[in-house]
Amino acid sequence: MNGAGAGESGGSTVGWCAPEVSETFPELRIVTCEVRLERALSLTGSSPPALKERLRELSNRWAGAQAIMLRSQPVPAAYRVFFRHIGLDPDVQRTPLEEAVMRRLIDGGFLPRGLLEDVLLAALVDTGVAVWALDAGTLDGPLGLRLSSAGERLGRDDAKAPELQAGQLVVADASRALALLFAAPARRHCPRADSRRLALFSLQVPGVSTLHVEEALWSCRTTLQSLAQGL
């Protein structure tokens, strides 16, 4: 992917955006970066104690009142507005941060769910910006945003893959749709336990600064790389 070099040098890349999408949302961007792990981590295995401790610390920041106040803060509010603009009701299908905080209230804390998920969760709670991960080895070219076409399937071409409706906003590579916007990527493209090359991506919507998005990606990348280096 195009972003591979940038990922290795520590930067991130803005992905492509189909004209019909950028005409409507000129400020919408998909920001990607590639992470190469020096040694295989068990990405689905248990997180190291330091990461679990970080989740515990983050859990202490959130109570019921903060969860409600969240919607008045600039970054979560920008995602709520964008949800409405793309036909999602954030009070029914929550934004990623609100979903995480709601789960924290129900579970009593940000419970560890596996190394990669925990890294992404910590970045989300820290910055308010969600980051998703894909197995870079399964991708065909750089990531971008476009509308799905009629009869297109998510993640692969066989009949078992979920079929998309025409005109849905998707994250895609050169050959196929990988995820609906703000939804989990197709399982086939999710990182496996031993994946060494990950493509991280995040969605910058109007009202969210580049700094927030860069920080979220940087946080995930540095955490994963330092864990792979055994630091």
Partner 1 sequence: MVGTEQLSSDLRIGSDRKTGEDAARASLRAQVAHLERQLSQIVVAGYPYIHIHADAQPLDATVAGGPRLLTLGELERQRDALVERVRRLRRQSAIRAERERHARALLDEMRLEPGRYRFTRLPVADLGEGGCGVWEVRPRLGLIGMLAGWWQLTLSSGCPLPRARAAARA
**Footprint on this chain of partner 1 (rule: CB under 8 A):** 20-21, 23-24, 64-65, 68-69, 71-72, 77, 80-81, 84-89, 91-93, 147, 164-165, 167-169, 180-183
- Name the DSSP class of 226: H
Instruction: Find the shortest distance in angstroms from Cβ 83 to partner 1.
Output: 8
Distance, in Å, from the CA atom of 14 to the CA atom of 31, rounded to the nearest integer, reads 4
Nearer to partner 1, 60 or 72 (CB): 72
Nearer to partner 1, 31 or 70 (CB): 70
Instruction: Find the shortest distance in angstroms from Cβ 205 to partner 1.
Output: 11
111, with CB counted inside 10 A (0-12, 13-18, 19+), is: middle
Instruction: Find the shortest distance in angstroms from Cβ 71 to partner 1.
Output: 4
Pairing of strands 29-36, 13-14: antiparallel
- Name the DSSP class of 33: E
Instruction: Find the shortest distance in angstroms from Cβ 131 to partner 1.
Output: 18
- Containing 78, the helix (H) or strand (E) segment is helix 74-85
CA angle 74, 111, 224 (to 5 degrees): 75
* Tokens read off for 32: 């990607």
Distance, in Å, from the CA atom of 122 to the CA atom of 7, rounded to the nearest integer, reads 20
Residue type, 91: D
Distance, in Å, from the CA atom of 48 to the CA atom of 115, rounded to the nearest integer, reads 8
Nearer to partner 1, 141 or 167 (CB): 167
Nearer to partner 1, 77 or 111 (CB): 77
Nearer to partner 1, 51 or 203 (CB): 203
Instruction: Find the shortest distance in angstroms from Cβ 216 to partner 1.
Output: 20
Nearer to partner 1, 71 or 188 (CB): 71
Distance, in Å, from the CA atom of 69 to the CA atom of 61, rounded to the nearest integer, reads 13
Instruction: Find the shortest distance in angstroms from Cβ 133 to partner 1.
Output: 19
